[in-house]
């Protein structure tokens, strides 16, 4: 089942003197449960593409359908609501809410969706256990290491069972051990929850784990390789 | 997590900044309230002094008298007139007065004075002249004699500060001299022995005069001395009389204290050849609040035609009202400047906070928090920031004002002289906690909320993709 369809997507930035084609005629489909990496050199358009898929930015041309919904047709507040219900985000620099504990960070989106307390507690503890942080539930981000913070961010992204998770260079700030742990956790959750993961990365370790690798160069898809 | 809870936690992320901003709000509220209380208290005191010692709230006069204060502009104090006025629901009583001017002399000195004929009993309802009789006078001789006794050192020091001052009541003497609780039993007899003044009141028909303390000093009068009054009487007669000083009185308003001579009203009418006539009749009211005064004024005005005129205290004290009104505006401008400084301080904090947290705002909206909810959190943050300062300001201002209310600031020496030269009692009083407390707090709360508009606009216009790059 397709969770995401991109059709002839363009993103053009108009600078003072020139037009920059950050994403140039990209068409892609993503199925439920995929574990895909978007790779390419710096400036190839990975982050721009990810931002458009996540509804944070709009294409200059083309269509992006999430679960058959065209993101460009949604009003700003409806788009925020749509993101909350369908898309999970993992950022390069974790971006946890500093005044909330690990547990409260994971619960945050469920609270916005007004989940019942018991259900919310169960899901939070299940995810924190899955990311190996059950003993740090009451720690604020400032008391957690980078790797631990990113694991909380993954738990937060998965909390409300989104259609897919977008991770923009999730391992860029992590050491080797933390990277391996995080990738194992994400792979496990991908399998268990059947949630699509889409990364942007140029980390070889992430590419190795991915079951699909899409390569971008100058905003264009130059290869789309699927692995078993 | 509820908005208010998240806002409270956000507030303490930068503890120092929160404390500094709240402190600036605190100082604004505290100083604004103290300044306002002092200002309003002092105005009230000035109005009260002048109203209760002289004009009253409403007067009935001959229609010509206010513009031309000569004894020919008088009216007959008839029973019919009295009943027309007293039938009004807010009128308690009528206080008759005969007011004119004369040249007063004693020995080789003379001075132009205001002669006020009063009903000794009825006047107790208003200016209560009897309670103003001087009971203590801190003359040089009295102070030297008191110091020769076994008295505490603080009293010896304070006596010098209030040298030459007169007092009508034990209470004001004790406050000025800072007599401590428990000391009054031993010290008051000493003060009475050396600084006590023997004065007495008068009654209708007695050829006695009461004179203001400053005037008595100028003319060198003591109780039992004689004062000569000479002036123009009704319809061209000559007013001339000789009266025994029954007592010296202390009027809070120094200008009046320097020129007032009280006589019983019937004695005064005889002096001015105007038996049964009055220059004014003070209408003593049951209810003195502004609305009640206005209502009574309107009713009496419609009832009394020519040759009568009904005057309100504001009309009778126009100069003072204008003077204090101008001073009030000046005070408001000062408080406005204080608020402006604080507003910029708060706005500076808001600017910094918004710039620092732009990325965080972007993340929150990206993961699904509606902008309206996010602005709700920020409004709570600003409210807390303002409330902390306002509550702290009120908490410190309330006891300070209560203390100040019971312990007004008395000026002494040269500063007191400056105030007296301007015709004011040298004392700054605090006004009791009133509406101004709410208005000052509200203004500061509004400043804080207005400052919150900036981040709200920023969030509304924010593009998540740009905010995430911040």
**ipTM value for the complex:** 0.92
Closest to B420 (Cα-Cα) out of B105, B164, B142: B164
Give the side-chain half-sphere CA count within 13 A for B347: 12
DSSP string, B425-448: -SEE-PPPS-HHHHHHHHHHHHHH
Asked if the structure places residue B33 within a domain, the reply is yes
Asked whether residue B345 is domain-assigned, the answer is: yes
Phi, psi for A180 (deg, rounded to 5): -65, -45
**Residue that wins the pLDDT comparison between B288 and B302:** B302
Please write the tens of the pLDDT for every residue from B339-371.
898 899 889 888 998 999 999 999 999 999 999
Q: Is B385 within a domain?
A: yes
* Residue from A191, A205, A226, A182 nearest A36 by CA: A226
* Residue B52 clears pLDDT 80, i.e. is over it: no
What is residue B423's predicted lDDT score, i.e. its pLDDT? 59
For chain B, the average pLDDT equals: 89
* DSSP secondary structure, A57-114, as one string: S--SEEEEEETTEEGGGS-HHHHHHHHHHHEEEE-TT----TTS-HHHHHHHHHHHTT
B464 near B365, Cβ under 8 Å?
Answer: yes
A22 neighbors A61 (Cβ within 8 angstroms): no
Nearest to A140 by CA among B361, B10, B380, B385: B10
The reply to whether residue A107 touches residue B465, judged by beta carbons under 8 angstroms, is no
Query: pLDDT tens-digit profile of A190-228?
Result: 998 889 999 999 888 888 889 999 999 999 999 999 887
Cis peptide before B96 (omega within 30 of 0): no
Q: What is the pLDDT of residue B53?
A: 65
Write down the H helix ranges in chain A: 46-53, 76-86, 102-112, 117-130, 146-158, 176-193, 204-209
Locate the chain A residue with the closest alpha carbon to B464: A56
User: What domain count does chain B have?
Assistant: 1
Q: Is A25 on the interface with B (CB under 8 A)?
A: no
Q: Which region holds residue A5: left if phi is over 0, alpha if psi is between -120 and 50, else beta?
A: beta
pLDDT at B360: 92
- Kindly tell me the burial class for residue B42, based on how many C-beta atoms sit within 10 Å of its own C-beta (0-12, 13-18, 19 or more): buried
CB contact under 8 A, A80 and B465: no
Q: Assess if residue B436 is contained within a domain.
A: yes
Question: E-strand spans in B250-361?
Answer: 260-264, 277-278, 280-285, 308-312
| Three-state secondary structure of B348-360 | HHHHHHHHHCHHH
pLDDT band at A176 (very low <50, low <70, confident <90, very high): confident
The Cα B275–Cα B265 span in angstroms is 9
The secondary structure element, H or E, covering residue B128 is: none
| B105 alpha-carbon distance from chain centroid | 34
- Output the CATH code of domain A2-226: 3.40.50.300
Compute the distance between CA of residue B57 and CA of residue B46 in angstroms, rounded to an integer.
14
CA angle in degrees (0–180, nearest 5) for B335-B340-B344 = 150
Inform me whether the C-beta atom of residue B460 falls under 8 Å from chain A C-beta atoms: no
Whether the CB-CB separation of A4 and A53 falls below 8 Å is answered with yes
Put simply, the answer to whether B359 touches A95 (Cβ < 8 Å) is: yes
What is the 8-class DSSP label of residue B53?
I
Nearest to A51 among B369, B372, B465 (CB): B465
Helix, strand or coil for residue A15?
coil
Contact A51 B363 (CB under 8 A): no
Q: Which residues of B touch A89 (CB under 8 A)?
A: 363, 366-367
Asked if the model's pLDDT at residue B421 lies above 90, the reply is: no
Mutate which of A95, A105, A155, A162 to test chain B, going by most B C-beta atoms within 10 A?
A: A95
Task: Name the closest residue on chain B to residue A84, using Cα atoms.
Answer: B368
Residues of A in contact with B371 (CB under 8 A): 76-77, 80
Best mutation target among B357, B368, B470 (most A Cβ atoms within 10 Å) is B368
Domain membership flag for residue B355: yes
Contacts A54 to B, Cβ<8 Å: 366
First to last CA, chain A: 18
Does residue B414 have a pLDDT over 70? no
**Has residue B266 been placed in a domain?**
no
Length of chain A (residues): 228
Tokens 């574990």 — which residue?
A35
- Categorise residue B364: left if φ over 0, alpha if ψ from -120 to 50, beta otherwise: alpha
The verdict on B359 touching A (C-beta cutoff 8 Å) is yes
- B239 forms beta bridges with B231
Q: Is B392 a domain residue?
A: yes
Residue B422: its pLDDT value, please? 62
The string of pLDDT tens digits covering residues B120-158 is: 999 988 878 898 899 999 999 999 999 999 888 888 888
Q: Which 8-state DSSP code applies to residue B149?
A: S
Q: Residues 6 or more apart from B164 whose CB is under 8 A from it?
A: B137, B138, B139, B140
**pLDDT at residue A105 in the model:** 95
Residue B59, C-beta contacts closer than 8 angstroms, at least 6 positions apart: B280, B281, B282, B283, B310, B311, B316
Average confidence score pLDDT of chain A: 91
pLDDT over 70 at A161, yes or no? yes
Query: Does the pTM of the predicted model rise above 0.80?
Result: no
Asked if B360 and A107 come within 8 Å (Cβ–Cβ), the reply is no
Structural domain of B355: 3-49+320-467
**Rounded to whole angstroms, what are the CA distances from B38 to A45, B28, B31, B402?**
68, 15, 10, 11
Whether residues B368 and A104 touch (CB distance < 8 A) is answered with no
């Amino acid at each position: 089942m397709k969770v995401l369809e991109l059709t002839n997507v363009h993103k053009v930035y108009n600078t003072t003197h020139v037009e920059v084609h950050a994403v140039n005629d990209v068409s892609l489909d993503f199925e439920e449960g995929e574990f895909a990496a978007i790779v390419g050199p710096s400036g190839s358009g990975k982050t721009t593409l990810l931002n458009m898929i996540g509804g944070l930015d709009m294409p200059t041309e083309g269509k992006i359908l999430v679960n058959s919904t065209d993101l460009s047709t949604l009003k700003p507040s409806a788009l925020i609501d749509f993101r909350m219900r369908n898309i999970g985000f993992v950022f390069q620099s974790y971006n946890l809410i500093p005044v909330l504990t690990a547990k409260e960070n994971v619960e945050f989106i469920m609270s916005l969706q007004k989940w019942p307390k018991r259900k919310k507690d169960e899901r939070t503890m299940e995810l924190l256990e899955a990311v190996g942080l059950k003993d740090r539930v009451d720690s604020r981000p400032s008391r957690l290491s980078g790797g631990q913070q990113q694991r909380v961010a993954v738990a937060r992204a998965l909390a409300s069972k989104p259609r897919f998770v977008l991770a923009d260079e999730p391992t860029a700030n992590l050491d080797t051990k933390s990277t391996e742990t995080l990738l194992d956790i994400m792979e496990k959750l991908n399998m268990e929850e059947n949630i699509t993961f889409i990364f942007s990365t140029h980390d070889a370790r992430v590419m190795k784990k991915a079951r699909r690798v899409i390569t971008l160069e100058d905003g264009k898809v130059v290869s789309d390789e699927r692995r078993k | 997590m509820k908005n208010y809870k998240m806002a409270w936690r956000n507030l303490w992320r930068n503890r120092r900044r929160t404390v500094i901003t709240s402190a600036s709000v605190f100082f604004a509220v505290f100083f604004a309230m103290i300044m306002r209380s002092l200002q309003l208290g002092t105005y009230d005191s000035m109005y009260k002094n002048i109203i209760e010692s002289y004009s009253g709230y409403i007067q009935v006069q001959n229609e010509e008298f206010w513009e031309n204060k000569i004894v020919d502009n008088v009216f007959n104090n008839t029973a019919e007139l009295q009943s027309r006025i007293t039938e009004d629901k807010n009128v308690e009583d009528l206080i008759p007065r005969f007011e004119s001017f004369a040249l007063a002399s004693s020995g080789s000195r003379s001075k132009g004075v205001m002669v006020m004929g009063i009903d000794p009993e009825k006047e107790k309802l208003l200016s209560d002249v009897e309670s103003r009789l001087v009971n203590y006078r801190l003359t040089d001789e009295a102070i030297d004699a008191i110091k020769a006794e076994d008295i505490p050192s603080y009293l010896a020091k304070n006596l010098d500060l209030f040298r030459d001052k007169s007092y009508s009541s034990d209470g004001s003497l004790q406050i000025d001299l800072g007599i401590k609780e428990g000391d009054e039993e031993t010290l008051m007899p000493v003060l009475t022995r050396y600084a006590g003044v023997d004065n007495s009141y008068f009654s209708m028909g007695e050829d006695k005069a009461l004179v203001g303390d400053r005037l008595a000093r100028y003319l060198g009068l003591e109780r039992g001395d004689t004062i000569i009054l000479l002036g123009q009487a009704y319809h061209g007669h000559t007013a001339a009389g000789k009266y025994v000083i029954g007592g010296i009185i202390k009027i809070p308003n120094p200008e009046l204290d320097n020129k007032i001579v009280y006589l019983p009203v019937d004695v005064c009418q005889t002096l001015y050849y105007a038996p049964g006539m009055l220059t004014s009749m003070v209408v003593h009211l049951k209810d003195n609040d502004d609305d009640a005064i206005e209502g009574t004024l309107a009713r009496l005005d419609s009832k009394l035609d020519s040759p009568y005129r009904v005057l309100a205290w504001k009309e009778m004290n126009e100069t003072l009202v204008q003077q204090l009104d101008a001073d009030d505006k000046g005070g408001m401008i000062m408080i406005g400047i204080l608020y402006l400084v604080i507003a910029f301080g708060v706005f500076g904090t808001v600017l910094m906070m918004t710039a620092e947290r732009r990325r965080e705002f972007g993340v929150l909206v990206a993961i699904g928090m509606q902008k309206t909810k996010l602005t709700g959190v920020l409004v709570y943050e600003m409210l807390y920031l303002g409330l902390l300062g306002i509550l702290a300001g009120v908490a410190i201002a309330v006891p300070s004002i209560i203390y100040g209310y019971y312990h007004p600031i008395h000026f002494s020496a040269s500063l007191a002289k400056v105030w007296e030269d301007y015709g004011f009692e040298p004392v700054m009083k605090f006004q009791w906690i009133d509406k101004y407390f709410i208005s000052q707090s509200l203004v500061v709360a509004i400043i804080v909320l207005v400052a919150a508009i900036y981040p709200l606009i920023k969030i509304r216009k924010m593009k998540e993709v740009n905010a995430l790059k911040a």
